């Protein structure tokens, strides 16, 4: 992946704080979408998107590798949804 993608940025997150104060994955995290701390909270971006707002700040190398491994595993997992044939 490119150097300045969302998956390598510290402002891209897959979790949000619930009403108990715990950080839990949000509904779009399972699809590989997170939100940027420098953008609206309701706008989700995929991890492969390059930073468009010029506020990219890299995360630690070990965390980046862990995120990229998760991304690859998520992309290689078979999908639960199967398109039904008409007929």
Residue 79 pLDDT: 62
87 has pLDDT over 60:
no
Contacts of 51 (CB under 8 A, 6+ apart): 4, 5, 6, 9
Residue 43 pLDDT: 86
**pLDDT digits 0-9 by tens, 26-85:** 888 878 888 888 888 778 888 888 887 788 889 999 988 988 888 888 777 766 655 556
**44 vs 86 pLDDT, higher one:** 44
């Amino acid at each position: 992946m490119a150097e300045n993608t969302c998956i390598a940025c510290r402002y891209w997150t897959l979790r949000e704080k619930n009403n108990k104060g715990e950080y839990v994955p949000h509904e779009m995290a399972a699809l590989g979408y997170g939100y940027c701390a420098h953008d609206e909270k309701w706008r989700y971006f995929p991890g492969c998107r390059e930073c468009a707002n010029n506020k990219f700040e890299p995360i630690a190398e070990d965390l980046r590798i862990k995120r990229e491994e998760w991304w690859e595993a998520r992309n290689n997992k078979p999908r639960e949804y199967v398109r039904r044939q008409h007929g």
